[in-house]
Structures are given as structure tokens and as C-alpha cells.
Amino acid sequence: MAQIKTLADLQAVKERVYATMKTRVEGFDKNLPQIRIAMATIGIQAGAKEIYDYFIDQTDAKQIKAIVMQTSVIDDGNQQPVVVKVTMPDGESKIYENVDKKTADAIIDSLKA
Amino acid sequence: MEQLVNLTIDNKQVQVAKGTTILKAAASIGIKIPTLCYYELKGQGIENKPGCCRVCMVEVEGKGNLAPACATNVSEGMVVKTHSLKVVNARRTVVELMLSDHPASCLTCAKSGKCELQTLAQELGIRDITFKGEQSTYRKDLSPAIIRDVNKCIMCRRCETVCNKLQTVGALSAVNRGFMAVVATAFEQDLAKSPCVMCGQCVQACPVGALAEVDHTRQVINALNDPKKTVVVQTAPAVRVAIGEEFGLTPGTRVTGKMAAALRRIGFDYVFDTDFAADLTIMEEGTEMLGRIDKFLKGDKSVKLPIMTSCCPGWVNFFETYYPDMLDIPSTAKSPMQMFGAVAKSYWVEKLGIKREDMVVVSIMPCVAKKFECQRDEFKTDGNPDVDYSLTTRELAELIKQFNIDFNSLPDEDFDNPLGASTGAGVIFGATGGVIEAATRTAYELFTGKTLEKVDFNELRGMDGVREATVDFNGTPIHIGIAHGLGNARKLLDKVKEGKEFFHAIEVMACPGGCVGGAGQPYHHGDFSKVERRFSAIYEEDKEKPLRKSHENPYIQQLYKEFLGEPCGEKSHHLLHTHYFDKSDKVEFVKE
Amino acid sequence: MSEYKMHILVCGGPGCSASKSEQIAANLRSHLQQEGLEKEVNVVLTGCFGFCEAGPIIKIMPDNVFYVKVQPEDAKEIVQEHIIKGRMVERLLYTEPSNGKKTPLDTDTDFYKKQVRIALRNCGIIDPENIEEYIALDGYKALATCLTEYTPEKVIEIVSASGLSGRGGAGFPTGRKWAATAKSKAEQKYIVCNADEGDPGAFMDRSILEGDPHSVLEAMAIAGYAVGADKGLIYIRAEYPLAIHRLQIALDQARDRGLLGKDIFSTGFNFDIELRYGAGAFVCGEATALIHSMEGLRGEPTMKPPRTSDKGYLGMPTNVNNVETYANVPAIILKGADWFSSIGTENSKGTKVFALAGQIKNVGLIEVPMGITLREIIYEIGGGMNGGKKFKAIQTGGPSGGCLTEKHLDIPIDYKSLSDAGSMMGSGGMVIMDESSCMVSIAKFYLDFTVEESCGKCTPCRIGNKRLYELLDKITQGKGTMEDLDNLRNLSHVIKDTSLCGLGQSSPNPVLSTLDNFWDEYVEHVKEHKCRAGVCKALMKYEINPEVCVGCTACARNCPVNAIKGEKKQAHQINQEACIKCGTCMEKCKFGAISIK
């Protein structure tokens, strides 16, 4: 292994290795909006997986920078499936119930603006 | 300039040098803080100060905990209380705790009346022990010279310090943890199988009865009462300047005459003197020394120098254990005690016309290791030892008391002849440097053929642990080394071994101060000035002797004429010389 | 190194390892390989996550989903469901005790919310056997900064200003210790890391060494630079084989990269570290005893002064700090003294790692800011008492600490407040007890430990603690007197006042604090021969209610000592003298006729 003899050597190792660990350490980029799809049993039953995939496809297609992720029960779990929670980088969040592809499009479009 | 520190102890102002302990600062103004683990051989560089018994605790203003006076240095403005309620309560509780794990067998304890824990309990007015509970149980360990009753160990570590620091023997150290912690041998094996050299300094240092010499008084009493036996006693030089202490006399009081009288009253058939044999030793060892030096000076490369003295049994055990590669260096001359035994059980039985089995030779020694020495196989003929029993100075005192003898009112009496006559040279065997000085007095005259005018070799005397001097043998410088305390001997020996220094002759005594500081002497409890006073007394005794050179002893001359022939001759070789054994396996065992 | 899309972090802490977390990691890897995902998903065996209650734990990043009580057999489902299908394995999610909800994110749990991780910053994130991952998280940057930008004095100044103090127990200011060692003039000085973690139940140092060994190595090198030492020694107990293994790997890698050894960062500074193994004696955590042990002597303390900063290892000036203390240092250098000192209280700065144990829901390893209350620790981080039982006492500071009660729960924790309350910070043990704990027995338990672990050097600790234990034992046997209680207190004070080292000076704390806080319980044992917690067997009595007993003989047949007599279909009786109080009869009785009095 190459010796680390200067601060620059150290920095180089840091940058190279950190790149491979970034997602591990930071999780998702906190400056991006997060779209959480409830994927508890009821959600999946009601087609949440389909909606989850749709979000991933559409955000890619429309080049929207957002994190699409799954979660279990959102808040107290009283909402109707399919539930989606959108959290903005400033912490503001909104919960959508009975989300279908149409509502999904609307949500994605709202992020565009 | 020494930096001075002002402090207050029990409302008294005191000024002492920086680095002084509270204990010593207090002592300087007459405040005697009790101690137990603390043990100092002043001037010998030995101080046991583990601060572990917690008896000398004092209150230092501004400190939450109590401080051990023995191990806490003074500081400017310090305010110390040595008898506040907190201190008194703590000290008492600590001693009670010690007593709660100590057999209450004072009545039959070897140290009873001389036990520092007993004294402390008495002084603190302890009449009941609040805490009762489990007591440690260990087996008793009996070696030929020393008995260990570990149940009595209070973990003061004094024995450990003398064994490891003073003697560098390394037979004893603390083992186990917590409540089971005691000082013991490695793997708690028998002391006899350990590297112990039986010097007994641990016995001298032990404040309680955990370490004591093996008692042989009963065997001696039996022999005295056996009508078939002729019982002969010999007394080592250092006994006469110390035994008075057991009868309340000041250390260094010479009681040679009273001692002879007491021995006679006890019933010994012949009261002889080891000093006679010391003179004999000089004849043998001095001749051997001169022979080697003579060969050396003539260019014989095979000759072994330095020649080392071999009268001290602790020292003999030490070099057999730690310097097995140097077994050919010490003089082959037996110790005075063994020479005496050999002569008594050959020459004297012949004179008396009795069988050697019917003679019992008892020696009174300042020494614990002598008990082992007289049991060595090479000092026996058909199983019968040359010296049957060796008693310590302390045991003799007990014997005198048991025989209802009021020691202090005894008249002075002389030793019996012929084996009781001695010169001043025989006397000084009892102090460090004495053997080599005695040898020098004789060797000088034999070597130079001239009469020695100045008998006192002050350059060989003193209390420094390692001393070196060059004596002028009429133009030939003879380099002499002296060590007392086995740690000092080790230093000297290592120098010789590494070729750093050359000596013609070396004297070694295992105990600090030589035999006057022997382990069989009255307990000095860490007051080394007692040993120093005995030391001075030895030289006073020498000075008063009409004859001060061994070869001038007429009875020695007679012995050679009638019986032995010549020094280092065939008969002496057989009777008065010995050989040594490699005992390094004892150390190897520990190392594993 | 390819870029991974996902990371599965598997806790390799002591608890999770014991529950086969290595097997879990292996199974995950093999399932990923079967699916051809080994290049996309990285499985990392990390150091301790701290949440031992729910172990073995794995965490999936970047989803930030964590699964608890995972078994090796679960690996397949995790790969199939979560990794491939993108569906969470719901049954492995953590249920928050406060609201009963499944929580996928560790950051959302009460257990982690209040924690501030400085010493444990990398534990559970990096692979401790890979120096590059440590470097990736700014590892060795603090050392580089010190060597290239700061003078040794400046380094000590930063550490002093941060207010960092010894995390091993006594809380001595670290900066002052460094300054003292720096001031001592000698040809050779040493940096020693005390990894002789000995409190029963404590595993913070172990977790740091296993989870982030380089943080300690880096800090030791920084200390070496600050005080002028080029040699470091880690005194670690041989009972920590994994920590030793990871340290060895870390040392090899650091040397390999030139971060230890000669001319570090081309500054001419040399520093290297050796491991020294201890045999696990509790007292060897005391600095002087530790040094004696390293020198091959008997592990027992000696009087101070001289302090180790003047005369330590081989008689040379030696700086001794504990693992957790060192682990804080690189963070302090990088983020600054002000940042560190802004965390904590007036007299105690930064954070402290605690090992939570006992009757609470979430046991584990936590790092909290100084000044947090015991209540927050117990009820928020700890999730409250187990089984809805009532809180009775909390023991802090290990065997040298004391038992605190309800009334102490709202004091902000720091060195001073804990010691004022009659306990201590110690190295960070924390045992929470409910009503089922007998406080006399608790005191006895800790004394039993001290009696075993005392080195036996000084009288009060050697014999005094034994007598304390015996008095406590007598009381739990129902044979104690009121005089014994006085003796217990007096003896405790004498042991504290007269013992040679910190072990004995603090060993009576469990006795004194329980005497103070649970006096009634002691008196009950003595006067009424009653143990309210039902722990002291000698004070218990099994009785058969003759009105309920139907004489089925089940109890009599099962009694191992034949202490129950009675005719069939008639009420039975227990011979109390023969009864060994094993409880079998009560267990076997189907009619509830047997009870404890």
C-alpha cells in the first residue's frame, strides 16, 4: 500500500473512498424532496408497489430530482391506501391518500415548480 | 542549601527539609505515629514503604481522605492531625480488621512479646474485635531453618522487600488477590524448594509470627538430660554483643562472661567458643588464599581469583543457587561452626575417649541459616552430624529463661579450654569485614615473613554495603572487596564476572552488618542503630584481647601439632574443607 | 473499488456477535452472490450499533432502514424482499415501545434521538478492519493537522480548552494530564491507553476498539506529539480477543500507510504503538497498577505521588488515558475546543458513553451529552421499565458507584452531580432496577465483586471489604442486628478514608448509598426478617393455604427434599426446616394454594 506522507495524500484517499461510502454515511441527499410510499401489508395489497415503481420511472423520465423511497405505516396508519408522504427539504410535508398514477403525476409535477 | 518546609503537626510548628515524610517530621518533635508495614534499614538503602497497612494514617487539612504518614511528604503550610477522632477511629478499625483475620494464638506464638501487631493492639487499647468473619487458612511450611505460618501474614511486605531488594533472592512475593492475598513463594511451593537461601532476614523483618526460625530448643533440652551424652556448646562471636538485649541491656553491651556462665548453668558439659574455630578457619582459609595468590603472582593462569570467604551459610546457599558457574572460586574452608563440629567430633572425642555418637554439639548462632548448614549431608559422618543443633541468639535467651537463670546477676566466667580459647581475629568474624581483616592479619605475616605492627585495618571496616580496599603486603598491593547483604554481594560478583574489576579476595556476609545484624539476633524492629552498636562492641572485644592474630592462638598451634599436622594438609583437607553444589534448578523452576 | 448502490451494515458488536451476526453477514453475502448483486450491494460488518436490546441489528443504506433481532435465516428474505423487490421486511422492523409503532428508521427511534455520538462516531458505520474507511471519514486528518499546523503546546491548549476529562472514572482533566507529562523532562516518555475495562457489564471501551480502533491509535499519536513521546502502549485485557485482533489489524495497516512509525506525514515525528495484555484484573484499571502489570510486576497500585506523568512505565513520564477519552480527541482537534465545550454542562464537557442494563426495555450502549437527566436516559432512550414494573433504583459507576433513586432522576448528569448524589460517573455502567431488586442483595453483589477484585495490598480493602460483604450476607440471612447496620456504616467510612487506591476508596459506595436511600429495607431485613423484593431466600417462606389445597399431592411428589407432607385429598404442609426454597411446589400447584410469605 502506498504510504501517506502528506495531507494531500490523505485527502486523496479520503475522496476516493468516501465516494464509495457516501450513500452509507449520508443516506439520501437531504437537499432533495423525499417521496415516501407506504409499503405496509395493506399498501402493497392496494398496489403501492406499482405506484412506487411508477414514481421511480416518472421522476427519471421527467428528470425530477427527488428521492423515492419506501416506508412502512405513515403516521398513525389511519389513512387510506395508497398513501404517499412528500417531504420537502425545508421539512414541510404533505400526505396524499388513495394515490393512483394520476395523483402521482400531479405530485411529480408539483415538484417541478 | 536544603529547602525547608514549615508545617503544623498536632498544633506544633515544625520545620523540616523538603522531601521529609510526615512520619519523620512528627518524630522530630516527639510525636510517635504508630507504624506497622514501614521498615527501614537506615544506611543500608533499604526502606519498605508500601503504604499498605494503613496504620499510620493522619488527617491532613483540606484532604478528604486520610494520608499515610510514612509515605506522604510534607508540604508548606500543611496542617496535620495525628490523633483526631477520625484518625483514632480509622486506625483502630484498621488494626481491628487485621486482628479479625489473624489467629488469636498469641500465647503460643514464636513472636509473642516481640510482635509489633500485638504491641499495637495493646497500645490502641483494643479489647474486643468488632468484626468477625472468615479467617485465611494456609498450610504451615517448614523448611530446615524457617517456618512460615502464612495465616499470620498481614501483608506488610517487609519480608518481600528484604528478600528481593536487600538480598535479591526473590523467594518471596505477594500472591493471590483480595482477601486471599499473602506473601508466599512462587506457586506457593515449599520454601525449601524455592530459591530461598535461608538467610532469615525475612524472619528478622516480619513484625508478626508469620515467619520464624524453626525451634530446636526442645532437642537441646533432651540431649542435656540424656546421661549417655556429652553435650558441647560453641557460641559465635556476634552472640555475645547482642544477647544482653533479650535481658533488657542496651544494644552493644558485651556479656561474654555472663553468657559462658549461663551456658554452664544450663548444663553444657563443655562451654567452648566458635571464635576458636574462627582462628582455625583463618589458618586454613588464609593458607588457601596465600597459596592461590602466590601461584597467581608467579604467573599461573589456571588459578582462580578472587578467593571468596565461605563462612556464611546464607552466602554459600546464594552462590550455589545464583552463581553455579563460580563454584570453584569460594574458599573450600568450612565455616567456623562446622570446623568446630568436625574438630569436636574427632580431636575432642578422641581426647575424652568417647564415641562420636555420644557427643552432641550445639551451636549458638546469630543466624537462621546455620540451622540448615548443620543439616547438610556433607557435614555428617555415617549420618551423624558434626554439629547436632544450631540455636539462634533468641533461642538461647529463651533457654536461659526456661532454666530459671537470672542472667543479669550472673558472674563473668571463662570458656573451657582448649576449644574455648581465641584471639581478637576470631572475635571480629562477627562483623562485616572482620573475616577478611582477620585473614589479612595472618596472611600478611605469612606472606611477608614480617611482624605486623598495626593490627587494625580500618580501611576494611565500616557499614557501607560494598567496600573496596587495597592492602600493602610489603610492596605487593592486595585488592580486597567486601560486601554485606546479598544484593551488595551480587553487585560485587557481577562486576567480577564481567571482568570490570579485579580482586584478590572478597568477603561476603549475607546479613546487613555481618553476623551482628544476623537473622537469629534479637529483633531490632527496623532500628538499625542497634546493629551498629553491636558492631562497635565487636571491635572493642577484639581490642581487649591479648592476642589478635589467629596463628598466635597457642591452642590452635597445639591442635596442629597434636592432631591436624599442617594447614591445608591431608587431615585438614579431610576434616576442615568442603565442596559446593549447583542449586540453580531452584531458580529455573521459578522462571518456568 | 466499485461504487455500491446499497450498503448492508451488520452490527459486529459483542452482543450481536454472540448472536451470530457474522453468520448473518455471511448469509447475506452468499444470497447476494446468488442473485448476482455482490458488486452492487456491499455487506459491512461494523462495530457496535449500541442498540443491543434489539440485536442482532442490520441497517440498510441509503434507505436508512434498520432491522432488529435478525436471524441468519432471515438473510434470504432481506435480499429477496428488500434488496430485490424493494419491499421492507415488516416483521423485522423495530416496534417503538412508546407508541407500539413499527419504525424503519433508526434516527426516528427514541433510542437514538437523544444520543450525541462523538466517541462512537464511526461505530456502526465503518468497517473497522479497513483503514481507508476510517480515513474516508476524516480519519488521521486530526493527526495531520496537529503535526503540520500546530505546536505541541497548541495541541495541549486545544485539549485543555475543550474541557475533555478522563472517561475511565475519575474525570481528571485530560489537558492537565498531558501538560504534566509534557512538562516532565526525560529521555523517553510513554503514551499508554488503558483498555482494561473491568466494570461488570461495561463494554464501551471494547466497542470502540472493536468498532473504530484507529480513532484510539490516532489520538495516541496526537498525545505522543503533544507530550513528546514516541512510544505508545495499549494495555488490553486478554479477554477481548476480537478487540485485540482488530487493533492488530489497525496497527499493521497504519504502519503500512506510514501513519505510525518513522517520519509521520514527513514531519520527522516518530510514533509507534505496542499491545500489552492484561489478565483481566479489575484493579489494573488503576494507572499505577496498570503500569506495574505492564512491567511484569504484580498488578497492584502504589502511592501517588509520584504521578505517572512524572514516573510511570519503567520509571519514565507516562500519560495514561482510557480508550473513550482518546476516542474523543481527533474529533476535538478537527471540530475545535469550542464545539466540544458547547456540549455538556458547566463542569463536565462533551458526551459520555454508558452501558445501559437491567430492567428497562432498551438495553445497550449509548452516548449522551453530559447534562442529560437519568429520567431521559431511562424513560426515553431506555424506553422505560420492563413489564410495566415500577422503577426502584439506578446504579451508576460500576462496583464503585452508588444506587440512586427516583428523587435523583432529574439531576443533570455530570461528574460532580453524580458524586454529590453519592454515586459516581465511573467508566459508565448503568444498571436500572425495579421492585424485584433487593437493595441489600445489590450491595452484597457489588461487594462480592470488590472482594474478588481487590488486589489485597492495603488492609482496609483486603479485609474491610470482606467484612462488609460478610455483614451484608448476615443481613440477607436474616441474622443481622441493628448494631450490624451501624458497623456497616462505620466500616464503610473507614474503608473510604483509609484505602490506598480508588478501588477501595469507592468500594463502599454501593453500601453507603443503599443505606442512605433504602434504610427502611435494611431495617426490614433486620427487624422483620423480611425481604420485600423476595430475593433473600433465607427470609422467604413457602406456605400452603389449607383452604385452597385439595390434596392432589403434586407438590409433595415434586419436592426434591421431601419437605411436604400430607394425606391424599387433605391439606398438605411444608416442613420449613427442611425446605430449601426452590419454589418447585409453587410452580407445580395447579390450584394456587402455595404462596410466599
pLDDT in tens, C478-488: 999 999 999 99
Last residue of a domain, one of C416, C434, C452: C434
Q: Is B328 helix (H, G, I), strand (E, B) or coil?
A: coil
B and C: number of Cβ contacts within 8 A: 115
Residue B569 identity (one-letter amino acid):
G
Whether residues C151 and C191 share a domain: the answer is yes
Evaluate whether chains C and B are touching (3 or more beta carbon pairs less than 8 Å apart).
Answer: yes
Whether residues C204 and C326 share a domain: the answer is yes
Domains along chain B with CATH numbers:
4-83 (3.10.20.740), 98-214 (3.30.70.20), 218-576 (3.40.50.1780)
**B65 to chain C: which residues are within 8 Å by CB?**
496-499, 505
Query: How far away is chain C from the Cα of A102, in angstroms, using its nearest Cα?
Result: 22
**Facing C491 at nearest CB: one of B93, B176, B178:** B93
pLDDT for the residue numbered B295: 92
- pLDDT category at A113 given cuts 50, 70, 90 is low
Probe site for chain A from C87, C103, C265 (most A CB atoms < 10 A): C87
Q: Is residue C123 part of a domain?
A: no
Whether residues C391 and C279 share a domain: the answer is no
Please report, for residues A75, B25, C48, C361, C409, the alpha-carbon distance to residue C379 in angstroms, rounded to integers and kept in the order given.
22, 56, 22, 9, 10
Using a CB–CB cutoff of 8 Å, tell me whether C281 touches chain B.
Answer: yes
Whether residues C363 and C389 share a domain: the answer is yes
Q: Is residue C201 part of a domain?
A: yes
Strands, sheet with C65-67, edge to edge from the N-terminal-most edge strand: C41-46, C6-11, C58-61, C65-67
Using a CB–CB cutoff of 8 Å, tell me whether B130 touches chain C.
Answer: yes
Q: Is residue C362 part of a domain?
A: yes
pLDDT for the residue numbered B1: 61
**Facing C88 at nearest CB: one of A16, A72, A77:** A72
Left, alpha or beta for B52 (phi > 0: left; psi -120 to 50: alpha)? Answer: alpha
Query: How far away is chain A from the Cα of C490, in angstroms, using its nearest Cα?
Result: 55
Whether residues C67 and C104 share a domain: the answer is yes
Q: CA angle C29-C34-C39, nearest 5°?
A: 60
Q: Is residue C535 part of a domain?
A: no
Distance CA C265, CA C278 (A): 32
Query: How far away is chain C from the Cα of A5, in angstroms, using its nearest Cα?
Result: 4
Mean pLDDT value of segment C126-144: 95
Cβ–Cβ below 8 Å for C460 and B51: no
**Facing A1 at nearest CB: one of C3, C42, C257:** C257
Task: For residue C503, give the nearest of C514, C513, C495 by alpha carbon.
Answer: C495
Share of residues in chain C with pLDDT > 70 (%): 99
Mean pLDDT value of segment C480-498: 97
Burial class for C571, CB neighbours closer than 10 Å (0-12, 13-18, 19+): middle
Which residues of B are designated catalytic? 285, 288, 311, 331, 370, 373, 378, 515
**What residue of C is the nearest CA neighbor of A69?**
C63
Cβ–Cβ below 8 Å for C500 and B52: yes
Using a CB–CB cutoff of 8 Å, tell me whether B34 touches chain C.
Answer: no
Last residue of a domain, one of C113, C145, C160: C113
Distance CA C302, CA B51 (A): 8
Cβ–Cβ below 8 Å for A23 and C7: yes
A and C: number of Cβ contacts within 8 A: 105
Whether residues C215 and C137 share a domain: the answer is yes
Probe site for chain C from A10, A16, A24, A29 (most C CB atoms < 10 A): A24
pLDDT tens for C233-280 read 999 999 999 999 999 999 999 999 999 999 999 999 999 999 999 988
Whether residues C168 and C204 share a domain: the answer is yes
Residue with grid cell 565487636, as numbered in its chain: B538
**Facing C456 at nearest CB: one of B54, B72, B177:** B177
Using a CB–CB cutoff of 8 Å, tell me whether C46 touches chain B.
Answer: no
Using a CB–CB cutoff of 8 Å, tell me whether C249 touches chain A.
Answer: no
pLDDT at C449 over 90: yes
Q: What is the domain-level CATH number for residue C277?
A: 3.40.50.11540
Cβ atoms of B231 and B353 within 8 Å: the answer is: no
* Residue ranges for chain B with pLDDT beneath 70: 1, 588-592
H-run or E-run covering C9: strand C6-11
* Cis previous bond, B418, omega within 30: yes
Cβ–Cβ below 8 Å for C497 and B100: no
Instruction: Give all chains having 3 or more CB-to-CB distances under 8 Å with chain A.
Output: C
Whether residues C218 and C320 share a domain: the answer is yes
> What is residue C8's DSSP assignment?
E
pLDDT for the residue numbered A72: 65
Evaluate whether chains A and C are touching (3 or more beta carbon pairs less than 8 Å apart).
Answer: yes
Scanning C324-353 for CB atoms below 8 A from A yields: none
Q: Is residue C481 part of a domain?
A: yes
SS (H, E, C) B494-528: HHHHCCCCCCCEEEEECCCCHHHHCCCCCCCCCCC
Cβ atoms of B44 and B166 within 8 Å: the answer is: yes
pLDDT for the residue numbered B592: 44
Total count of residues recorded for chain A? 113
Cβ–Cβ below 8 Å for C258 and A3: yes
Domains along chain A with CATH numbers:
28-112 (3.40.30.10)
**C90 to chain A: which residues are within 8 Å by CB?**
40-41, 72
Distance CA C554, CA C566 (A): 11
Q: What is the domain-level CATH number for residue C521?
A: 1.20.1440.230
- Contacting residues for C161 by C-beta, under 8 A, at least 6 apart: C175, C337, C338, C341
pLDDT for the residue numbered C109: 79
Q: Is residue C120 part of a domain?
A: no
pLDDT for the residue numbered C3: 65
Distance CA B444, CA B474 (A): 8
Cβ–Cβ below 8 Å for B174 and C457: yes
Cβ–Cβ below 8 Å for C454 and B65: no
Whether residues C225 and C324 share a domain: the answer is yes
Instruction: Give all chains having 3 or more CB-to-CB distances under 8 Å with chain C.
Output: A, B
**Facing A18 at nearest CB: one of C7, C136, C258:** C136
Q: Is residue C122 part of a domain?
A: no
CB neighbour burial string for B239-273, b if at least 16 within 10 angstroms, e if fewer: bbbbbbbbbebebbbbbbebbbbbbbbbebebbbb
Scanning C334-393 for CB atoms below 8 A from B yields: none
ipTM above 0.85, yes or no: yes
**C144 to chain A: which residues are within 8 Å by CB?**
7, 10
Whether residues C522 and C570 share a domain: the answer is no
**Phi, psi of B250, rounded to the nearest 5 degrees:** -70, 145
Cβ–Cβ below 8 Å for C144 and A10: yes
Q: Give C366's Cβ-side CA count (13 Å radius).
A: 28
- Contacting residues for B186 by C-beta, under 8 A, at least 6 apart: B171, B173, B175, B194, B589, B590
The model carries a pTM of 0.89
Whether residues C178 and C262 share a domain: the answer is yes
Using a CB–CB cutoff of 8 Å, tell me whether C6 touches chain A.
Answer: yes
Q: Is B360 helix (H, G, I), strand (E, B) or coil?
A: strand
Q: Is C186 helix (H, G, I), strand (E, B) or coil?
A: coil
Using a CB–CB cutoff of 8 Å, tell me whether C474 touches chain A.
Answer: no
**B72 to chain C: which residues are within 8 Å by CB?**
303
pLDDT for the residue numbered C98: 78
pLDDT tens for C191-242 read 999 999 988 878 899 999 999 999 999 999 999 999 999 999 999 999 999 9
Last residue of a domain, one of C407, C434, C461: C434
Cβ–Cβ below 8 Å for C451 and B155: no
**B33 to chain C: which residues are within 8 Å by CB?**
none
Cβ–Cβ below 8 Å for B177 and C453: yes
Pairing of strands B389-392, B359-365: parallel
**DSSP output for C441-481:** HHHHHHHHHHHHH--S-SHIIIIIHHHHHHHHHHHHTT---
Grid coordinates standing for C496?
Answer: 473510604
pLDDT for the residue numbered B304: 87
Query: How far away is chain C from the Cα of B116, in angstroms, using its nearest Cα?
Result: 16
Cβ–Cβ below 8 Å for C451 and B90: no
Grid coordinates standing for C167?
Answer: 472517561
Distance CA B158, CA B169 (A): 14
Query: How far away is chain C from the Cα of B67, in angstroms, using its nearest Cα?
Result: 7
Query: How far away is chain C from the Cα of B80, in angstroms, using its nearest Cα?
Result: 15
pLDDT for the residue numbered C52: 87
pLDDT for the residue numbered A73: 64
Q: What is the domain-level CATH number for residue C414?
A: 3.10.20.600
**Facing B53 at nearest CB: one of C302, C451, C459:** C459
pLDDT tens for A10-42 read 999 999 999 888 878 877 777 778 887 877 777
| Average pLDDT value for chain C | 92
pLDDT tens for C46-74 read 988 888 888 899 999 888 888 999 999 99
**Facing A17 at nearest CB: one of C61, C85, C133:** C133
- pLDDT category at C1 given cuts 50, 70, 90 is very low
Cβ–Cβ below 8 Å for C451 and B178: yes
Q: Is C41 helix (H, G, I), strand (E, B) or coil?
A: strand
Note down the domain range covering C396.
351-434
pLDDT tens for A45-102 read 777 878 888 888 888 788 878 877 777 666 655 666 777 878 787 778 888 888 888 8
Whether residues C319 and C384 share a domain: the answer is no
Q: Is residue C324 part of a domain?
A: yes
Cβ–Cβ below 8 Å for C102 and A73: yes
pLDDT tens for C358-378 read 999 988 899 999 999 999 999
Grid coordinates standing for B146?
Answer: 524457617
Using a CB–CB cutoff of 8 Å, tell me whether C5 touches chain A.
Answer: yes
Cβ atoms of B288 and B333 within 8 Å: the answer is: yes
Distance CA B582, CA B110 (A): 33
